[in-house]
Amino acid sequence: MKYNQQVIKRDDAVFWMDGNGRWHNAHGPFEHKKTIAYFHSAVKRDAGGFYVSQFRDDRLEKVYFKYEDTAFFVFDVITGDEITLVLNTGKRLRLDPDGLFVRKDGLFMQSGEDLFKFTDRSLLKLSRRIEYQDGRYYFKDGDARRVIPAR
């Protein structure tokens, strides 16, 4: 099936994502859970940046949007033998302690080209594994402690 593509530039988008993973428009933060879930599930990234897209009739609408830090967030943490991160997009990813770093009082994880920011809720679930001592953060992995670098 052929379709036309309509691209909306970042500066022309009527919605954006804040540094805590909340969607906003001119009227304030999004309130409807289904709309919020749809937007998160539709987040993708290409060379032009982060965008959401949807098909309408014979047209693909691709809207690039503004965001702070990143548009990928860790919304939940599942602990067990391994630690699994549940992302705002609905995908799951294994925690990589070597990819963790702290920036502006936020915890992030770099995985390849992707950057994920931990929300307050996900940080609470990891809190027993994070220590702060002598001005440095550490990630506890069994008996081992790894420094979480600041960037």
Q: How far apart are CA 68 and CA 104, in angstroms?
A: 12
Percentages helix, strand, coil for the chain (3-state, rounded to 5) are 15, 50, 35
Angstrom CA distances, 72 to 38, 50, 95, stand at 14, 9, 14
Residue-range domains of the chain with CATH = 4-67 (3.10.540), 73-148 (no CATH)
Token output for 71: 């548009």
Matching residue, tokens 């970042």: 10
Q: Residue 65 in contact with residue 15, Cβ under 8 Å?
A: yes
Model confidence over 69-97: pLDDT tens digits?
A: 999 999 999 988 889 999 999 999 999 99
Write the single-letter amino acid at 18.
D
Angstrom CA distances, 49 to 3, 7, 8, 45, 71, stand at 22, 12, 12, 5, 10
Model confidence over 122-140: pLDDT tens digits?
A: 999 999 999 999 999 999 9
Of all residues in the chain, the percent with pLDDT exceeding 90 is 85
Model confidence over 30-46: pLDDT tens digits?
A: 999 999 999 999 999 99
| Cα 60-64-65 angle, rounded to 5 deg | 135
pTM of the model: 0.91
Angstrom CA distances, 133 to 5, 107, 141, 148, stand at 52, 16, 16, 11
